[in-house]
């Protein structure tokens, strides 16, 4: 399995898809919360749109400015023991 991570100041396609999902979930949350608070099912589409836009742009903004975590590739064919202090193989 290959995992593609976005680099600093770049977005991958999966980041855009996740941002869209956050926007939809944020809009649904706004509808449900507004309906519960008002005890009715009248929708204010302007506030729903603002909640969706805020959730989606917020997620994409965080992913754009967040550096990708360091990935480690393990070669299972090698059995060397590496010193934590020096980073070199121990004989």
Q: What is the pLDDT of residue 8?
A: 66
Give Cβ neighbours of residue 5 (< 8 Å, ≥ 6 apart). Answer: 12, 68, 69, 71
Number of domains observed in the structure of the chain: 1
CA 19 to chain centre: 8
Structure pTM? 0.56
Q: What is the pLDDT of residue 56?
A: 87
The pLDDT tens digits of the residues spanning 18-76 come to 888 888 888 888 778 877 887 877 777 887 888 888 888 888 888 888 776 666 666 67
Angle among Cα 26, 28, 33 to the nearest 5 degrees reads 95
Structural domain including 43 reads: 1-91
Its sign, for the CA torsion 36, 41, 47, 53, is positive
């Amino acid at each position: 399995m290959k995992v593609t991570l976005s680099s600093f100041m770049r977005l991958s396609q999966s980041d855009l898809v996740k941002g869209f999902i956050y926007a939809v979930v944020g809009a649904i949350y706004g509808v449900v919360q507004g309906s519960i608070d008002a005890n009715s099912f009248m929708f204010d589409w302007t506030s729903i749109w603002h909640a969706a836009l805020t959730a989606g742009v917020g997620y994409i903004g965080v992913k754009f400015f967040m550096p990708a975590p360091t990935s480690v590739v393990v070669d299972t064919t090698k059995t060397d023991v590496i010193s934590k202090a020096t980073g070199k193989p121990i004989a």
